[in-house]
């Protein structure tokens, strides 16, 4: 068996920023500014500039970043929030946590992102049944690719729904040069270490242009505090990002645009080599993806053999996602749009992700491609 390749390499990037991060850590230690220290405010300003949105509220995780806007809007029992089922659990979990009902929508077979036509039909179904009140949509930028926000926004506007971008994987992704905040009311992201912009623990952020919402989110972040420090005005969380993580992110942000370009190059080489023999996630020409994952479809029950063959060649692969949310134990009692989610079901049987990171050199990538070609040939 050949030497195993890393699925994701965080060490090369760490070595680039280590001195600067350690200098920041040392200052935080000297100051004792562990909670809401100056690095947190500095990061929020820099993220607002990067994302082109007026307000950034950093928080403790990507899950909190999705949960907090639902809390701020008072979404709860009797309300419906439309989400994909082909995603990480947190997208739907937060809806259940506030007592509302996730309603699962199918995705497109080529981009793997929310299908706007299926979304529209599903919203209309819920309206016609009259049991739940449609309140919001959470669209996911799956594997780094920005969702079809112009079409999804149109559905949201026609039905008076809020739109959240779950940009945990796709923060920094653009459509026609614009990020999700050009269409979404709120952009929520995660800084989990393996994300394209990750920290060294848990973290997240919410972005919005709505100043009143931003104030409520800041209150929710610290137990619903109000202007009188002895009077908490709403329910909230211990939702802060800690100062050490902000310090890491400030330094990582300096490399982020360059790393997105590097990921685009790696993805383009994969796609050129594999398009004829597998079906990679399709990306339109006007999209820049952050390529959190590089994912192909291996149909006809050949995925297991494909993965074993790559493993033998020292190439790790991972399945994102093997079981759709609407079939998982905690989620299967919630409604599904239309007559089921055939595309989602099929993708879960076929998808497999290859090693992807900004520091994947061409020689290593050629080894991965050769192993994939041999397995598919
Ligand atoms: C699509 C998606 N949404 C939400 C999350 C939740 O982020 P976190 O793990 O930071 O809570 C993740 C990642 O873990 C994710 O991939």
Q: Are residues 194 and 281 in the same domain?
A: no
Closest ligand 1 atom to Cα of 64: 11
Cβ-count burial 163-193 (b if 16+ within 10 Å, e if not): bbbbbbbbbbbbbeeebbbbbbbbbbbbbbe
Q: Which of 207, 231, 251 is the last residue of a domain?
A: 251
Long-range CB contacts (within 8 A, 24+) of 229-235? 234/71, 235/71
d(CA 36, CA 262) in angstroms, rounded, equals 33
Which pLDDT score, from 0 to 100, does residue 244 have?
98
User: What distance in angstroms lies between residue 241's CA and the mean position of ligand 1's atoms?
Assistant: 15
Q: State in Å: Cα 61 to ligand 1 middle.
A: 8
Domain count, the chain: 2
- 173 in ligand 1 pocket by Cβ < 6 Å? no
Q: CA angle, 15 as apex, 252 and 260 as ends, to 5°?
A: 40
Task: Provide the pLDDT for residue 2.
Answer: 63
**Which helix (DSSP H) or strand (DSSP E) does residue 205 occupy?**
strand 204-208
Last residue of a domain, one of 251, 280, 300: 251
166 lines ligand 1 (CB under 6 A): yes
Which of 100, 144, 147 shows the shortest CA–CA distance to 295?
144
pLDDT of residue 339: 87
Ligand 1 proximity of 290 Cβ (cutoff 6 Å): no
Query: Would you state the pLDDT for residue 4?
Result: 85
- 154: in domain: yes
Indicate which CATH number applies to the domain containing 240: 3.40.640.10
The answer as to whether 164 is a domain residue is yes
Among candidate residues 186, 216, 251, the one where a domain is terminated? 251
CA 120 to chain centre: 22
Distances (CA, A) of 192 to 61, 68, 166, 270: 7, 17, 14, 25
What 8-state DSSP symbol labels residue 227?
Answer: S
Sign of CA dihedral 184, 205, 263, 316: negative
> Which stretches within the chain are classed as H helix?
11-31, 38-51, 62-72, 90-97, 116-129, 149-159, 211-221, 243-274, 303-312, 342-350, 362-376
Please answer whether residues 206 and 69 qualify as being in contact, where contact means their C-beta atoms are separated by less than 8 angstroms.
yes
User: Are both 96 and 121 inside the same structural domain?
Assistant: yes
Q: Which of 253, 17, 204, 221 is nearest to 25 (CA)?
A: 17
71 and 212 share one domain: yes
Structural domain includes residue 4? no
Structural domain contains residue 5 = no
Query: Would you say the CB of residue 91 lies under 6 angstroms from ligand 1?
Result: yes
Low-confidence ranges of the chain (pLDDT < 70): 1-2
CB atoms within 10 A of CB 279: 17
Q: Residue of the nearest CA to atom 4 in ligand 1?
A: 90
Rounded Cα gap, residues 91 and 227, in angstroms: 32
Catalytic residue selected from 195, 229, 311, 323: 195
Task: Note whether 65 and 237 are within 8 A (CB).
Answer: no
Q: What is the distance between the alpha carbons of residues 205 and 202, in angstroms, rounded to a whole number?
A: 11
267 shares its domain with 286: yes
Task: Kindly give the number of the ligand 1 atom that is closest to the alpha carbon of 90.
Answer: 4
Q: Judge if the upstream peptide bond of residue 275 is cis by omega within 30 degrees of 0.
A: no
* Judgement on whether residues 42 and 180 belong to the same structural domain of the protein: yes
Q: How far apart are the first and last CA of the chain?
A: 20
Query: Has residue 76 been placed in a domain?
Result: yes
Q: How far is the CA of 377 from the centre of ligand 1 (A)?
A: 35
Report which of 312, 279, 316 is spatially closest to residue 295, judged by C-alpha positions: 279
Question: Within this chain, do residues 152 and 301 fall inside the same structural domain, yes or no?
Answer: no
Domain hosting residue 29, numbered range: 11-105+113-251
The answer to whether residues 243 and 314 belong to one domain is no
CA of 6 to the centre of ligand 1 (A): 21
In three-state secondary structure terms, 18 is helix
Q: Is residue 318 part of a domain?
A: yes
Q: CA-CA distance, 102 to 95, in Å (whole number)? A: 6
Q: What is the pLDDT, as a whole number, of residue 276?
A: 87
Q: For this structure, is 195 an active site residue? A: yes
Residues 187 and 261 in one domain: no
Q: State whether 33 and 93 are in the same domain.
A: yes
Check whether residue 26 and residue 175 sit in a common domain: yes
Domain co-membership, 235 together with 299: no
So what's the pLDDT on residue 377? Answer: 83
């Amino acid at each position: 068996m050949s030497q195993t390749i890393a699925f994701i390499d965080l060490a090369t990037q760490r070595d680039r920023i280590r001195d600067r991060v350690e200098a920041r850590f040392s200052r935080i230690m000297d100051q004792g500014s562990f909670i809401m220290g100056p690095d947190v405010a500095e990061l929020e300003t820099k993220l607002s500039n990067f994302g082109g949105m007026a307000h950034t509220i950093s928080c403790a995780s990507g899950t909190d970043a999705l949960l907090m806007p639902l809390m701020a809007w008072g979404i709860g029992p009797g309300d419906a929030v439309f989400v994909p089922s082909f995603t990480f659990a947190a997208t739907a979990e937060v809806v259940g946590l506030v007592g509302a009902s996730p309603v699962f929508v199918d995705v497109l077979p080529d981009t793997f992102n929310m299908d706007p036509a299926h979304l529209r039909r599903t919203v209309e179904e819920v309206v016609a049944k009259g049991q739940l009140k449609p309140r919001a949509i959470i669209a996911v930028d799956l594997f780094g690719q920005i969702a079809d926000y112009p079409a999804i926004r149109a559905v949201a506007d026609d039905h008076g729904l809020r739109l959240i971008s779950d940009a945990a994987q796709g923060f920094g992704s653009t459509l026609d040069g614009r990020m999700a905040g050009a269409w979404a009311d709120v952009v929520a992201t995660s800084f989990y270490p393996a994300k394209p912009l990750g920290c060294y623990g848990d973290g997240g952020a919410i972005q919005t242009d709505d100043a009143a919402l931003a104030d409520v989110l800041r209150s929710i972040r610290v137990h619903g505090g109000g202007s009188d420090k002895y009077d908490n005005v709403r329910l909230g969380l211990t939702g802060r990002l800690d100062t050490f993580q902000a310090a890491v992110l400030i330094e990582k942000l300096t490399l982020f645009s360059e790393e997105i370009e590097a990921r685009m190059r790696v993805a383009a080489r994969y796609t050129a080599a594999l398009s004829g023999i597998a079906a990679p996630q399709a990306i339109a020409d006007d999209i820049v993806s952050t390529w959190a994952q590089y994912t192909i479809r291996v149909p006809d029950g050949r995925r297991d053999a494909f993965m074993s063959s790559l493993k033998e060649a020292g190439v790790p692969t991972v399945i994102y996602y093997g079981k759709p949310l609407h079939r998982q134990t905690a989620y299967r009692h919630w409604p599904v749009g239309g007559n089921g989610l055939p595309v989602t079901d099929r993708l879960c049987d076929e998808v497999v992700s290859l090693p992807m990171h900004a520091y994947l050199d061409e020689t290593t990538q050629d080894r991965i491609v050769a192993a994939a070609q041999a397995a598919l040939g």
